[in-house]
Amino acid sequence: MKDNILYIVIPCYNEEEMLPITYKALKSKMESLIKSKKISKESKVVFVNDGSKDKTWEIITNLHKKDKMINGINLSRNKGHQNALLAGLLTVKNECDIAISMDADLQDDINAIDKFIDEYKHGSEIVYGVRSSRKKDFWFKRVTAEGFYKFMKLMGVDIIFNHADYRLMSNRVLNDLAGFKEVNLFLRGIFPLIGYRNSIVEYERHERVAGKSKYPLKKMLSFAFEGITSFSIKPLSLVLNLGLIIMIISILVMIYCLIVKLLGYTVAGWTFITISIWFLGGLQMLALGIVGKYVGKIYSEVKARPRFIVQEYLNK
């Protein structure tokens, strides 16, 4: 395969209002890409139905019947956006040369696809779609969303700023993705780990055309928590460092208490209790931190991630 067969993979959960609009927009985009010979005629749009409760699957089935450019994958139940996307990508990984993942709501500007493909042709294996501005977002969404990326970085997770799940992946990257067996999925953390040559394409994020957002603040918080706990053991190191700091403070407290006692400013028992509280508190925190370090190692072992990915092997 090197015919530039493009598959656009779209997870859909209760998107009956959106699907006809999305289909129309993508259909004309695909046709113009085929016409300008940027992609193969065999390219497809793949809708993944993530256990929707409305007519989403019915619509996908009908689209597939009348248009051979449309493929459909039906999951047995709702598994969430990340799992639905992974299901789509891994199902098509041997059928396409290039895959692009995007949402069903057309918030990601489909005109960026041209630039994605240009970058791919210039040798990028992964192209990250990055929002150029969040002017159109409500200030609260903007502040929380940008805070999300900054906090993740602070917590030691390597992610691309303002990049969600709008990205191009080469066939090779899809096959490497299959090597990540983790159950707690946070896809945008995995791709930087895969590596290779990659690039960024900026695009303007639009408002949702129809239907409602399935990502309220509560889900976003749990998503951030998932991301940190799936990608970083920094919080465990923080506990260890805190333990060390409290131990140092407890020595200072000890000196202070003894001085106060020698000067005779204390009531009976105060010195002993105060020193004990600081010392035991610090000791416990330190012990927890050490246990945490081991837990952190178990966690990395259990994930059994690929230890390396070979980019080239010159042997002839």
According to DSSP, the β-strands at 163-170 and 198-203 are: unpaired
Residue 212: count of CB within 10 angstroms of its CB: 10
Query: Using the 8-state DSSP alphabet, how is residue 206 labeled?
Result: P
Among residues 108, 107, 127, 109, which one has the least CA distance to residue 117?
Answer: 127
Q: Backbone dihedral region of 98: left (phi > 0), alpha (psi from -120 to 50 degrees) or beta?
A: beta
* Piece of 10-18, 116-124, 168-176, 286-294 that binds ligand UDP (CB under 6 A): 10-18
Residues 6+ apart with CB under 8 A from 269: none
With CB under 5 A as the contact rule, the residue among 22, 56, 107, 250 that binds Mg ion is 107
Question: Toward Mg ion, which CB reaches closer, 145 or 200?
Answer: 145
Minimum distance of Mg ion from residue 50's CB (angstroms): 14
Minimum distance of ligand UDP from residue 49's CB (angstroms): 8
Ranges within 33-92 binding ligand UDP (CB under 6 A): 50, 78, 80-81, 84
The verdict on 22 binding Mg ion (CB under 5 A) reads: no
Cα distance between residue 55 and residue 51, in whole Å:
10
Per-residue interface string for the shown chain with ligand UDP, residues 100-119, x marking contact by CB under 6 A:
---xxx-x------------
Cα distance between residue 256 and residue 279, in whole Å:
13
Ranges within 256-285 binding ligand UDP (CB under 6 A): none
Minimum distance of ligand UDP from residue 20's CB (angstroms): 14
Among residues 97, 68, 127, which one has the least CA distance to residue 4?
Answer: 97
Question: Toward Mg ion, which CB reaches closer, 38 or 214?
Answer: 214
Do 218 and 136 meet the contact criterion of CB atoms below 8 Å apart? no
Question: Toward ligand UDP, which CB reaches closer, 12 or 160?
Answer: 12
The two structure tokens encoding residue 160? 């691309």
- Given ligand UDP, Mg ion, none, residue 84, with its beta carbon under 5 to 8 Å by kind, binds ligand UDP
The verdict on 105 binding Mg ion (CB under 5 A) reads: yes
State the number of binding residues for Mg ion (CB under 5 A). Answer: 3
Minimum distance of ligand UDP from residue 129's CB (angstroms): 13
Sole residue written with tokens 């925190």: 285
- Given Mg ion, ligand UDP, none, residue 125, with its beta carbon under 5 to 8 Å by kind, binds none
Chain centre distance of CA 136: 22
Question: Toward ligand UDP, which CB reaches closer, 59 or 84?
Answer: 84
The verdict on 14 binding Mg ion (CB under 5 A) reads: no
Chain centre distance of CA 50: 18
**R_g (Cα) of the chain, nearest Å:** 26
Site residues (vs Mg ion, CB under 5 A): 103, 105, 107
Site residues (vs ligand UDP, CB under 6 A): 11-13, 15, 50, 78, 80-81, 84, 103-105, 107, 213-215
